[in-house]
Copies of this chain bind each other. A is one copy, B any other.
Amino acid sequence: MRGFVRRHTVEDALAIIDTHLHPLAGEFVPLSAANGRVLADDIVSHYDVPGFDRAMMDGYAMRADDTNSAAQENPVSLNVIADAFPGRPFQNSVAAAHAVRIMTGAPLPDGCDAVVPVELVDASNGGSHIKAFAPVSAGKHVGHRGEDVVSGTNVFKRARVLRPQDLGVLSSIGQGQIHVIRKPRVRLVVTGDELLPAGSSPRASSVVDANGPMLAALAERDGAVIHFPGPIPDERDGMLRAMLADADVIIVSGGSSVGIEDHAPSLLLEHGELIVHGIAMRPGAPTGFGRVGERLVFLLPGNPVSCLCAYDFFAGRSIRALGGRPKEWPYRSIVAPLARSITSPIGRLSYARVQVVDGRVEQLAVVGASVLSSTTRADGFVVVPAESGGFAAETDVTVWLYG
């Protein structure tokens, strides 16, 4: 029986892994595929948006000065000489005492500096003249060139995770192909002679792979492109081939511990580097990290709860970092009091699955790391640090919510 060389604390392991995490290079994607992607560069606008002064109301474009003397008892009459529509502007200049009927969004004609709304004038004479009954101030109901974006503005900084409205602004400044950080390519290597692929029915002495579908969904959530051809046997040659796949990250599930069937650590020792092996945490202790060439390799336990926990602490963080995303958990958190105490062995970090019932946090009845349904009954998890023996009832704790 071999053992772990030495157990790392979670903090030490994270510090070591972090030195291997650098955002990947950029790639261009169409704007329509850019939501949620991470900008590889700052974005500077080369255009004013809008590129012209425009009407913000349906009405009449005119010179504000013409209405200086207008009053209810002394209306000013303007000669309406043309129409201006969005995309079909009036191309000439408008002289004093003249006006152009204009629709919202149409460019303001040369010579004009204001728009008087249609409901404030008398156009009852058939439309060739209007009467204004009050002064109009210069700039009224005019949207000015560059009021949204001025040419030369640094609109977004690199590493921004793009939101829906960001795509609107990018579109408006003429960006059709967006330079974003490439998605990490993740190869899942799920091993176990007892595993049937997803879609199979369970049968005698075999179980259907749970970790593969779970890890694929987790890694996609964290911005990866997944390659997962299904579970493979606990067999060194096949595992080695899979660990040499064309990928940025290899996630091995199963065979990560120190038993005679645990091939993954020795494969890393022989064909790459085994940098971390064994973590002072519960569940998830038989977790490893290493490299094969440029590939980051995560050895996750086969027990599905341990696998989820180790993914949450190490692999997910790394995938997010390679993709230029914040390393922090993507889970929402709340702070709420414990209904009952949580105990945890000093010297090991614990990942306690909890429910939140009527605003109070309850640890699920302690069940083994093989009981994945405990994580589907749970609303989230509470982390008990290694130096703590747990939390007393009524302690306010942070719950990281799965949903």
Give me the interface of A with B, judged by CB distance under 8 Å. 1, 30-32, 35, 47-52, 56, 58, 85-89, 103-107, 118-119, 143, 147-149, 155-156, 161, 163-174, 176-177, 192-195, 198-218, 220-221, 234, 257, 259-261, 302, 304, 308, 332, 367-368, 370-373, 375-376, 402-403
Contacts and interface: CB of A to CB of B under 8 A. Distances in A.
B155 A373 contact: yes
Stoichiometry, as copies per complex, reads: 2
A166 B376 contact: yes
A168 B89 CA distance: 60
B105 A164 contact: no
| 4 smallest beta-carbon distances between A and B, as pairs | A176-B199, A86-B194, A168-B210, A168-B214
B148 A205 contact: no
B204 A52 contact: yes
Contact of A86 (B51, B193, B201): B193
A332 to B, nearest CB: 6
Contacts of A304: 165, 168
Given A50-B207, A168-B211, 5 more contacts: A31-B199, A87-B195, A163-B376, A169-B376, A172-B372
Given A51-B202, A51-B203, A105-B194, A1 B119 contact: yes
Nearest to A378: B165
A128 to B, nearest CB: 17
A89 B205 contact: yes
A217 B165 CA distance: 8
A163 B194 CA distance: 25
Nearest to A214: B168
Contacts of A87: 192-195, 205-206
B332 A172 contact: no
B192 A58 contact: no
A202 B85 contact: no
A52 B205 CA distance: 7
Contacts of A143: 368, 370
A52 B49 CA distance: 67
B211 A261 contact: no
Most chain B beta carbons < 10 A, residue from A171, A198, A212, A370:
A171
Given A202-B49, A376-B155, A171 B56 contact: no
A56 B368 contact: yes
Nearest to A106: B194
Contacts of A218: 164
Most chain B beta carbons < 10 A, residue from A32, A213, A302:
A213
B373 A169 contact: yes
A368 B147 contact: yes
Given A165-B214, A172-B210, A213-B171, A204 B35 contact: no
B47 A201 contact: yes
A202 B214 contact: no
B370 A234 contact: no
A332 B147 CA distance: 30
Given A376-B165, A403-B161, A176 B198 contact: yes
B156 A174 contact: no
B214 A164 contact: yes
Given A173-B202, A176-B198, A51 B107 contact: no
A213 B162 CA distance: 12
A201 B52 CA distance: 14
A174 B259 contact: no
A195 B105 CA distance: 10
A206 B54 CA distance: 10
A62 to B, nearest CB: 18
B58 A259 contact: yes
Contacts of A177: 199
A121 to B, nearest CB: 11
A167 to B, nearest CB: 4
Contacts of A261: 58, 85-86, 103-104
